[in-house]
Amino acid sequence: MYFSRYAFWMMALFVLLGTPAVLAQSSKAILKQHIYYLASDEMKGRETGSAQVEQAAQYIEAAFKNYGLQPKGTDGYRQDFTAKITRVPVTDSLRAAANIIGFLDNGAARTIVIGAHYDHLGHGTIGGSRDTLHIGEIHNGADDNASGVAGLLELARHYSQNEVKESFNLLFIAFGAEELGLLGSKHFTQNPTVPLNQIHWMLNMDMIGRYQPENGLAIIGHGTSPAFVEIFDGVTSDIKFYTSKDGNGGSDQTSFYKKDIPVLFFHTGGHPDYHMASDDADKIDYKALQSIVDLEIKIIDKSMHVAKMPFQWTN
């Protein structure tokens, strides 16, 4: 492991001053900035095939570029594909979509995949809306899933700027067309730009912005590798969390699980604004979101002490 001079002096400083109880790795202000941008009315709910979801894709691409990630799509950072809409009431069935993929190449043999989808329901007219009174209004999708994209971008920023060369590579993927049936992650796992047998495990974030203290954060997929027992051992957070075994579920980790890759899915649970026009940025718990991203960093770092993670089916 490489220890930077910066890390050495920071350590020395903490010995002098006493280590703070919680050292935040992610920035609450930056998380907030991403969500307020992606879930603004100007983004019109990031409907697959729209000019606005393309604008969101370009925002993510610009961030990856800014963090010095290597393009790992099929056309730069982009992996374009066609999303086929199979559900009513949509009359056009084919739409342009893209995954945005950035790679932190540490020259390692194995890679950890970190993902979140960036599309949402637009005005609720492509199906999926639960909002019978507000069909036609913008479904901003702050929790679903501007929150996950904010987490993705903060993890990309952290790992590209921490001056540590990790013993694993990290592949950051913003998935398109999740709301239409996990289409972006399906496309990636059928057309991977990093061989699937080199993937250590996959972390997915979908709806991590509405932390409920009574329930805690759900971390789903703990049973998909026996190695997670060791990885979670001793991991603490200032928020409450619990693990559950199953690797299957309603988001993009499922596509990886089906390819025998261990997965963890971070999720703060359902709420009355889920798939409604009222899923707005001012309802996000930014402090808890920051704690969730910091907890993810701890888990990712610990998973780097495990050379190989055997896959295990759960049900």
Looking at beta carbons only, is 40 or 237 nearer to Zn ion? 40
User: Smallest distance from the beta carbon of 99 to Zn ion, in angstroms?
Assistant: 17
Q: How far apart, in whole angstroms, are the C-alpha atoms of residue 178 and residue 165?
A: 32
Rounded least distance, CB 191 to Zn ion, Å: 23
**Closer Cβ to Zn ion, 144 or 280, answer by number:** 144
Least separation in angstroms between CB 122 and Zn ion: 12
47 is a contact residue toward Zn ion (CB under 5 A): no
Q: What angle do CA 266, 113, 226 make, to 5 degrees?
A: 65
- Least separation, in Å, of the C-beta of 185 and Zn ion? 13
For Zn ion, which is the closer residue by CB, 37 or 274? 274
Q: What is the DSSP string of 82-94?
A: EEEP-STT-S--E
Site for Zn ion contains 119 (CB under 5 A): no
CB of 240 to Zn ion, least distance (A): 24
Residue 48 or 225: the one with the smaller Cβ distance to Zn ion is: 48
- For residue 232, count other CB atoms closer than 10 A to its CB: 17
Alpha-carbon separation of residue 27 from 31, 32, 63, 175, 288 (angstroms): 6, 9, 15, 23, 12
Rg (CA), the chain: 19
Question: Contacts with Zn ion: how many residues (CB under 5 A)?
Answer: 1
Contacts of 132 (CB under 8 A, 6+ apart): none
Query: Measured from the CB atom, is 131 or 144 closer to Zn ion?
Result: 144
Q: Give Dmax (Cα) for the chain.
A: 66
144 binds Zn ion (CB under 5 A): yes
What is the nearest approach in angstroms of Zn ion to the Cβ of residue 144?
4
Nearest to 123 by CA among 66, 50, 209: 50
Using CB under 5 A, which of the segments 89-97, 138-146, 150-158, 164-172 binds Zn ion?
A: 138-146
Applying CB under 5 A, which residues contact Zn ion? 144
